[in-house]
Chain A
Amino acid sequence: MSDRLSATLSALADPTRRAILARLVQGQATVNELAEPFEISLPAVSRHLKVLESAGLISRGREAQWRPCKLEVQSLRDVDDWLSTYRRFWEESFDRMAAYIGELKAGAGHDRRKKRR
């Protein structure tokens, strides 16, 4: 699981690959279609597709010539789960920090009152 998620995150780390995924959001596409917006060679696009495929982010059709690429949602969902775990961890930590700041302030007020007495 962890290795798979690492591979997914690492695949997502590249802007070209993210742009390719964004294109696939609109539906299946061939290598040529995917390569069109980029100023990079077809082999370079193919290399990106291999990375995305081995990370489970896309799958490719089996037709010999026309191997359309398709978005695989599960891997993105894994990334999302991973993120939500972290989000909960930090959001709730910061809730506690806010409460702690309140305690510190109440404590400081208490100290001042004691000093004035």
Chain B
Amino acid sequence: MTAEKRGADNELLIVRTFDAPPAVVFALCSSAEHIKRWMGPKNFTCPHVTIDFRVGGAYRAMIQSAEHGQNWFGSVYREIVQDKRLVFTFAWDNEGPAAGIETLVTITFQERDGKAVQTFHQAPFANVERRDSHMGGWSEAFDKEEAYAEKVAKEHAA
């Protein structure tokens, strides 16, 4: 996974180091009261989070901003390894390009020099099994992405 820094074109990979032990960061990601304090982009608040924190348990949350109103999302926990790993599905309720498309979020927490290295991965849900068994081929295929971008740029310029 570490070699797969970029991830694929339809996947999101974000690696962050937090100045706290992994157990603390895990707690911040798994308690409703903590999540309310950080969930959502800047200028958003997260006034509502309910969590049934067990495998198969549902969570539901809402973020809001003056500009964008209320945005609800939620789904189900798939995997919980205390202080180490969280896997859950994620889907937005509301309208918009991402509405109703279920994705799978995997967050792992590792300790390095007393800090937590959090590896966050999100991908369309149906994708996951295949992706895990074909990671090599996929990433090699899309090493060509830069060439692709250049080509597109040229086509547009032409």
Chain A residues proximal to chain B, CB less than 8 Å: 1-2, 5-6, 9-10, 12-15, 18-19, 21-22, 25-27, 71, 73, 76, 78-83, 85-102, 104-105
Q: Is the CB of A9 within 8 A of B151?
A: no
Contact A98-B18, Cβ < 8 Å, known A9-B101, A88-B41, A90-B12: yes
Pairs of residues from A and B, 10 with the lowest C-beta to C-beta distance, nearest first: A92-B41, A22-B141, A25-B148, A97-B38, A15-B134, A13-B127, A96-B38, A9-B124, A12-B10, A19-B141
Instruction: Report the bound CA distance from A57 to B19 in whole Å.
Output: 42
| A83 contact from B12, B16, B34, B137, Cβ within 8 A | B12
| A96 contact from B24, B42, B96, B152, Cβ within 8 A | B42
| Interfacial chain B residues near A88, Cβ < 8 Å | 41
Task: Tell me if A's interface is mostly helix, strand, loop or mixed.
Answer: helix
What is the size category of the interface that chain B forms with chain A? Answer: 35 or more
**Binary flags per residue of B107-127, CB closer than 8 Å to A gives 1, else 0:** 000000000001010101011
In the complex, 25 of the A-B residue pairs with CB atoms within 8 angstroms, ordered by the A residue number, are: A2-B98, A10-B126, A12-B127, A13-B126, A15-B134, A18-B9, A19-B137, A25-B151, A26-B147, A80-B9, A82-B98, A83-B12, A89-B41, A90-B12, A92-B40, A92-B41, A93-B38, A94-B118, A95-B42, A96-B38, A97-B25, A98-B16, A98-B18, A100-B34, A101-B28
Instruction: Report the bound CA distance from A58 to B127 in whole Å.
Output: 20
Q: Taking CB as reference atom, which chain A residue is nearest B103? A: A86
